[in-house]
Chain A
Amino acid sequence: MTVWQQIADTAGAVLVFIGAAICLLGVVGMLRLPDVLSRSHAATKPQTLGLLLVLAGVALRLRGGMDVATLALIGFFQLLTGPVAAHLVARSAYRTGQIERCELLFDDLDAQLTEIQDAGPAQEPGRRPEDGREGGGEPGQEPGPAPGPSRS
């Protein structure tokens, strides 16, 4: 084993460790942040970065052409699919009122949705999150036929 291989192994181990630590940070963030949307920040972004670092570390230890290509494929799919899942969670959480609206400083999307609805009683701030479901938008009150803001 040459010196370079030892250096690559050590660097790989360090990268795997950092990646795992960043993933752990994301979990801590999920526990500390208050609502779904904030948690989805902590759940997706540090995970992606952590996974990429772990993959880089593993690639430094494996050093085989095809293995590295497979790892790159894993990273690529993580980058591609993570946002889709996060977006769907955030979107359904928003539309079913599972978020603390009173916590939001302002909300551009709510204004647009209620504009289209043209009926929606104004959101009462200061409701408890459990009640948010009733005020926010039951499936029945959902924007209805007209808006159906298009999916990506």
Chain B
Amino acid sequence: MRNLITLSFRNPDLPPFSCEFAGRRRRVLDLPLIAWLTLIWVLLWSTLSWANVVTGVVVAVVVCLAFPLPQVDYGLRLHPWGILLFGGYLLYDMYTSGVKVTRQIFAGRPHRPAVIAVPLRCRSDLMLAATAVAVSNVPGGSVVEVRRATATLFLHVLDADRPEELDAARRSVWRLEELTVRAFGTPDEIGRVSGPPPSIEGDDDRREEA
């Protein structure tokens, strides 16, 4: 007879930190996910008590069983120092470019916005999504479209009539990408973003035509 619950260190097929429920349908629970959901539950109740923690675990397990997620390796690693740098840079960038947005809003002259393509170096879905979220949190560009096949972000930038502004927008995206991957990425991805940013010569040609 099989065990009712198998932990991941007994069964190497399972992803790390998960346990498996044997039953008619096989269900795999991701323990970090349950811990995270429990934490949110406790924070929402604003009181740290045993009752809250226990009900939180129960609710998290029920939610995970009722709405199972596809089994993927997200490729998420946490690098504390990288996360600190990432958060610090995000706050700093939000603060400095808050001033910039104010100037753009109150500038008398009309804006010439543009949509630019910024190819990224990382390839994993999670890093792509995290970079897109980080980019749209800092002023400078808002994401219009994400193309997964080529890992390209399409940004709408205000004030595109000066080439140095465009370069600055691209560089800031690549900078954020590097910080994001250094905070959450796998070693493979970190190696990838340490390289130089992809070239964009094709874009430059087209821009001169325009």
Contact = CB atoms under 8 A, between A and B. Distances in A.
Interface of A: 22, 25, 28-29, 32-35, 37-38, 40-42, 44-46, 48-49, 52, 66-67, 69-70, 73, 79-80, 82-84, 86-87, 90-91, 94, 103-112, 149-152
A46 B138 CA distance: 9
A151 B153 CA distance: 11
Contacts of A112: 117, 147
Contacts of A28: 105
B154 A79 contact: no
A87 B54 CA distance: 37
Most B CB within 10 A of own CB, among A66, A83, A110? A83
Contacts of B145: 91, 94, 109, 149
Interface stretch (B38-46, B65-73, B74-82): B38-46
Nearest to B105: A29
A105 to B, nearest CB: 4
Interface of B: 40, 43-44, 46-48, 91, 94-95, 97-98, 101-102, 104-106, 110-117, 125, 128-129, 132-133, 135-139, 142-149, 154, 156, 158, 160-161, 203, 206-207, 210
Given A34-B111, A49-B98, 6 more contacts: A28-B105, A37-B156, A87-B142, A87-B144, A105-B160, A108-B203
B210 to A, nearest CB: 4
Most B CB within 10 A of own CB, among A66, A79, A86, A152? A152
A98 to B, nearest CB: 12
Given A66-B46, A80-B133, A83-B137, A90 B113 contact: no
30 contacts: A25-B105, A29-B105, A37-B142, A40-B142, A41-B142, A45-B97, A46-B98, A46-B139, A66-B47, A69-B43, A79-B137, A83-B132, A83-B136, A87-B142, A87-B146, A90-B143, A90-B144, A91-B145, A94-B115, A103-B112, A104-B113, A104-B115, A105-B161, A106-B206, A106-B210, A108-B203, A109-B144, A110-B115, A150-B147, A152-B146
Nearest to B203: A108
Given A37-B156, A79-B133, A105-B113, A25 B95 contact: no
B150 to A, nearest CB: 9
A87 B143 contact: yes
B114 to A, nearest CB: 4
Contacts of A106: 114-115, 160, 206-207, 210
Given A29-B105, A66-B48, A79-B133, A150 B148 contact: yes
B210 A45 contact: no
Contact of A151 (B48, B146, B206): B146
Contacts of A80: 133
